[in-house]
Chains A and B, each alone.
Chain A
Amino acid sequence: MDVVSQLQRQFLDFTTSLYREGFLDDQFVQLQKLQDESNPEFVIEVVSLFFEDSEKLLNNLSTALQQHIVDYKQVDALVHQFKGSSSSIGAQRVKNVCVSFRNYCEEKNVEGCFRCLQQVKHEYHLVKSRLDALFKLEQQILAAGGSVPMIA
């Protein structure tokens, strides 16, 4: 039991830090709310969908921006997608970078786009590692026989 409560505390601290540092926003809370007995894996499903999508999108973005003539329309559409999915899971920092990314896109600013791409990659990996860690913690809690505490 001690282990479980320790893990639970750890989980809570970690989650609040995620919110505090702005990696996640309340949409993630909403997402967690949607998860119930009928759909126990909902959050993980959605988030892994997000990961898959994001990898693809980031790859596409890199290739699109390496083109000789950059198709900003295409880039913008990709970023829009990315922004939509990130905001859906509440990956706030990724979303914010996406917003500025789109602005650079509008200005057709290659350098800005590149910078944003790097940033968004960076943020994505950050949030991915955080979420992975979070899920790992969750698994551990569950494995230890505890229940995942809810934020809010």
Chain B
Amino acid sequence: MGAKSHHMVAVKLNEQLGTKRKYTFINRAWLPKILVMWILLVAFVSRIIYNRMDAENKQRRKEVLVSMCDQRARMLQDQFSVSVNHVHALAVLVSTFHYYKNPSAIDQGTFAEYTARTAFERPLLSGVAYAQRVVHSERDEFERQHGWTIKTMKREPSPLRDEYAPVIFSQETVSYIESLDMMSGEEDHENILRARATGKAVLTSPFRLLGSHHLGVVLTFPVYKLKLPTNPSVKERIDATAGYLGGAFDVESLVENLLGQLAGNQAIVVNVLDITNSSDPLIMYGRQYQDGDMSLKRVSALDFGDPFRKHQMICRYLQKAPTPWTAITTTFLFFVIGLLVGYMIYGAAIHIVKVEDDFHEMQQLKVRAEAADVAKSQFLATVSHEIRTPMNGILGMLALLLDTDMSSTQRDYAQTAQACGKALITLINEVLDRAKIEAGKLELEAVPFDLRSILDDVLSLFSEKSRHKGIELAVFVSNKVPDIVMGDPGRFRQVITNLVGNSVKFTERGHIFVQVHVAEHAKALLNAKSETFLNGGSEGAALSGTCHFKTLSGCEAADDRNSWDTFKHLIADEEFRYNASSQLIGPDDAQNVTLMVCVEDTGIGIPISAQERVFTPFMQADSSTSRNYGGTGIGLSISKCLVELMGGQINFISRPNIGSTFSFTAALRRCEKNVGVDLNKSFSGNLTMALEGLKATVVDEKPVRAAITRYHLKRLGMLVEIVSSIKMAVATSGKNGSVRPKNKWQPDLILVEKDSWISGDNCGLNLRLFDWKQNGRKLKLPTTVLLATNITSVEFDRAKAAGFADTVIMKPLRASRVAACLQQVLGMGKKGQQGKDMLNSSAFLRSLLCGKRILVVDDNRVNRAVAAGALKKFGADVECADSGKAALTLLQLPHNFDACFMDIQMPEMDGFEATRHIRVMESKANEMMTAECTGGTGEKKSEWHLPVLAMTADVIHATYDKCLSCGMDGYVSKPFEEENLYQAVATFFESNPINDER
């Protein structure tokens, strides 16, 4: 089971993590793979680019080669054909002038001269010669005629042949071949035969030329004796042949010249080949062993006009193709850029992943930190509880100890110990509060409460201290603030108590003034006021210089806006509009009310440097503060939390050595009056009735203080007038009391502030008062009462002598206290009122419990006996039940038990369940009863609701909450303690009408 649940949790966690991780758009496992793939892709693309560029280069190179080669071939061909044409022309010349003229117009000299002079036309031919066709029969004749014998190429007398072709004319450059028989050379022989058969120029295959060692070809052209018919046959051609004109082409120099004329000839290698015999090409130009770039060549066909022979030109680049740097650089750059881009993206992705990881980690850490924080708070709460329990023991024992007989020293020690213990409990409660707020466990109540009485309570808490210090402590609640508001009275009181407590702690002279206003109203006024204050700054400065401020005590306060100037506006405005506004504010607006509470003091103030950490827990203004004044500094931070929970804000203005003004707002709700009628019972009853309608004159030179006095008196239903001195009071009351118009103010009471009395001229005053008294004997005598913060016995005696009443109303003023005092003064006090408070708890408990039928439910006999014993001691009639079921049977309706103390932990049916059953039972009965009652008279029987109190040993808060949620009314800690029991019982027995002991 355990393992299973663990597994479940793990799965859940994973799921959570999974859902959390979902928005990660980068798959981290794939990242390196993607990077590698990207690099490969970039490499591949680079390769393609390189290939393409390279191919382009090659193509271009090839094209260049082709064009160059073709150009060369064409030029060579052209030049060659030009030369051939010239030879042809020579042939025509020979035939014209040698054969058609008779006698011949040409001899060797003429020929030589002519050819030499026309040699520029045949730059390619090293020389030309003319060989005559001589048949054997004509040889002798020929030899005799020319005077030399026909010789072979080897310069020997020619052997017998059918035919000879001795050179008879020759250019001077080749004069060495004169008389040589061209037929004797094999190449020439063949050439001659072919030439005379075709009638065209024919070429030999390349061979080493005589004379020069260049490769060359011999061009042979036939010369005919007769004009040939058109389309002559071969036979006709042979017969008509008269001789042959030949020229040697020095191909090498020819090509060399040619190439020399052209650009770029260094770049390429040119070979010219005779490929008549295709299997054995003969090189006419170029080297046998080819060098240059073998990878690329261009072959261009050459046509030298001899159909029998075929030639071609092969071109190559001399150098290998240059390394394609452009392509390589481009590609490399591309690759590098691609790589960088890829890496950048990769880096970014890695970074994102890292950031995300960090984020997740942070999130987890945050969750853990929050959990730790909650755990801390819970721990604090638990520990505080754990400390509280023994502390309660300590305090209880101290209380018991104080009940015993002790020497005064011992008593002093014990009292100190008790005070310390109480302080510790308060601190622990504060820490607990703070922890609860942090753990988010604190919930605010929303119950109707009387704000004014709460303020009175707070004031009464501090009255002793403030009186002791001689500080004026006062509270003022604006009329606009509703009597009953909905909210959490405890927390509201806590905040105010804290603020006032601080003020009291840090103030040695002057005043502490608590004001409550409706926030919107006060704000509007304060803003308006601050504007005028700014405008009239000089006036304010002048005022502050006089060291007399129109504040409560005359001491300067931190927040100028709270001085009389504003305050008077607030009050005036209030009075002016109060009647009207109560109607004006419609019901829609009426639901919510935001109150602004100011606590103003004239204490030591907060150092500027410390002001910003005032609300930080455990921070005090400076460390010396805690030494001088004590405290932990947690109060303000709790107050801040509470105020924020109440939907308000807290802030302050503080000036060192002048004072601080804390103000906070709280959003509360209005409440219909009838809901909370019983709440303001504190002085709504006979107390105020007696005082209602009385007229009072307040003599006070300080307007703020006077206004406060008036506020308290008005709460008692009195009519109040303020004057600033006794003289004026007398004046307004009418001189001598004789001639006084009816509408004149005639006070029943004159309340004189001690300051005003002392500062006024004493003798005159006394006289006047006596005067007045005497004169007023016929009329109703106004009672004069002294108001004082503190009074010495001497002063008291003097006051009595001056005609003041015996009772001095001690500040701080509280409506109930004022009422009591006034009643005493006016002689209508009810002595019985005070009686209640005097009772000590034990006797009171007895009075509460006496005669009550109480059921004690506990499964433990001993516990039962003890509980029963304790309750019996206070006079209760106790019955016992040993289980929840037994209790239920005893509690079947109708029963006559007044209360039930229920143990929580019992076998079978625990206290919670039993209580639930009881409540179900009761609600059923109540329903039936109301059903019966409908249609009857308006009288309502009291509903069944048996107070059920839990008895528990472990008083942790959760248990208490559970108690309440089960319908229990409270709890007492086990074992019984008097005080605890008293507290628990008092809350619900007090209102019980049967129980009125007097």
Which residues of A does B touch, CB under 8 Å? 26-27, 29-31, 33-36, 38-39, 42, 45-46, 49-50, 52-53, 77, 80-81, 84-90, 152
Contact = CB atoms under 8 A, between A and B. Distances in A.
Contact of A89 (B862, B870, B873, B953): B862
A36 B873 contact: yes
B905 interface: yes
22 contacts: A26-B393, A26-B397, A26-B400, A27-B975, A31-B869, A34-B869, A35-B869, A38-B872, A39-B869, A39-B872, A53-B860, A84-B860, A85-B860, A85-B862, A86-B862, A87-B953, A87-B974, A88-B860, A88-B866, A89-B862, A90-B975, A152-B403
Nearest to B951: A84
Given A30-B975, A84-B860, A49 B865 contact: yes
Contacts of B393: 26
A84 B858 CA distance: 10
Contacts of A53: 860-862
Given A27-B975, A30-B976, A77-B907, A84 B953 contact: yes
Nearest to A56: B861
A119 B859 CA distance: 24
Interface string B838-878: 00000000000000000000111111011001101100000
Contacts of A80: 905
Contacts of A29: 400
Contact of A42 (B396, B869, B907): B869
What are the 7 A-B residue pairs with the smallest beta carbon separation, nearest first?
Answer: A85-B862, A84-B860, A34-B869, A88-B866, A88-B863, A50-B862, A27-B975
A152 B907 CA distance: 37
A30 B396 CA distance: 11
A152 B398 CA distance: 10
Contacts of B905: 80
A152 B401 contact: yes
A106 B595 CA distance: 52
Q: Which of B859, B866, B870, B977 has the most CB of A within 10 A?
A: B866
Contacts of B532: none
A94 to B, nearest CB: 11
A66 B397 CA distance: 42
Report whether over half of chain A's contact residues are helix, strand or loop; otherwise say mixed: helix
B400 A31 contact: no
B404 interface: yes
Contacts of B974: 84, 87-88
Given A26-B400, A42-B869, 14 more contacts: A26-B393, A26-B396, A31-B869, A34-B872, A49-B862, A50-B862, A81-B859, A84-B862, A84-B863, A84-B953, A84-B974, A85-B860, A85-B861, A152-B403
Contacts of B396: 26
Interface in B680-708: none
A152 B953 CA distance: 24
A30 B865 contact: no
B400 A152 contact: yes
A34 B396 CA distance: 16
B866 A46 contact: yes
Contacts of B861: 49, 52-53, 85
Q: Which of A34, A36, A42, A46 has the most CB of B within 10 A?
A: A34
Interface of B: 393, 396-397, 400-401, 403-404, 858-863, 865-866, 869-870, 872-873, 905, 907, 953, 974-977
Contacts of B401: 152
B975 A87 contact: yes
Contacts of A84: 858, 860, 862-863, 953, 974
Contacts of A81: 859-860
Nearest to B396: A26
A117 B873 CA distance: 35
B48 to A, nearest CB: 75
Nearest to B403: A152
Nearest to A28: B975
A56 to B, nearest CB: 10
A152 B859 contact: no
Nearest to A35: B869
Contacts of B865: 45-46, 49, 88
Nearest to A47: B862
Contacts of B873: 33-34, 36, 39
Contacts of A38: 872
A39 to B, nearest CB: 7
A33 B397 CA distance: 13
A50 B974 CA distance: 16
Contacts of B400: 26, 29, 152
B870 A34 contact: yes
Nearest to A89: B862
Q: Which of A29, A85, A90 has the most CB of B within 10 A?
A: A85
B591 to A, nearest CB: 50
Contact of A88 (B397, B403, B872, B975): B975
Contacts of A152: 400-401, 403-404
A90 B977 CA distance: 13
B929 to A, nearest CB: 38
Contacts of B866: 31, 34, 46, 88-89
A26 to B, nearest CB: 6
Q: Which of B862, B863, B872 has the most CB of A within 10 A?
A: B862
Contact of A46 (B403, B858, B862, B953): B862
A39 B878 CA distance: 14
A113 to B, nearest CB: 19
Contacts of B859: 81
A132 B957 CA distance: 39
Q: Which of B858, B863, B873, B976 has the most CB of A within 10 A?
A: B863
A84 B863 CA distance: 7
Given A46-B869, A152-B400, A30 B977 contact: yes
A50 B864 CA distance: 11
A26 B393 CA distance: 9
A22 B37 CA distance: 81
Contact of B863 (A33, A35, A36, A85): A85
Nearest to B400: A152
Nearest to A50: B862
Nearest to B393: A26
A23 B696 CA distance: 66
B407 to A, nearest CB: 16
Contacts of A46: 862, 865-866, 869
Nearest to A54: B862
A26 B865 CA distance: 17
Contacts of A85: 860-863
A84 B953 CA distance: 8
A81 to B, nearest CB: 5
A118 to B, nearest CB: 22
Contacts of A90: 975
Nearest to A42: B869
A58 to B, nearest CB: 14
Nearest to A25: B393
A85 B860 CA distance: 6
B308 to A, nearest CB: 124
Contacts of B403: 152
Nearest to B874: A34
A85 B401 CA distance: 25
Contacts of A77: 907
B907 A88 contact: no
A84 B974 CA distance: 9
Contacts of A31: 866, 869
Nearest to B401: A152
B676 to A, nearest CB: 39
B977 A88 contact: no
A119 to B, nearest CB: 20
Contacts of B397: 26
Contacts of A49: 861-862, 865
Contacts of A89: 862, 866
Contacts of A30: 870, 975-977
Contacts of B869: 31, 34-35, 39, 42, 46
A74 to B, nearest CB: 10
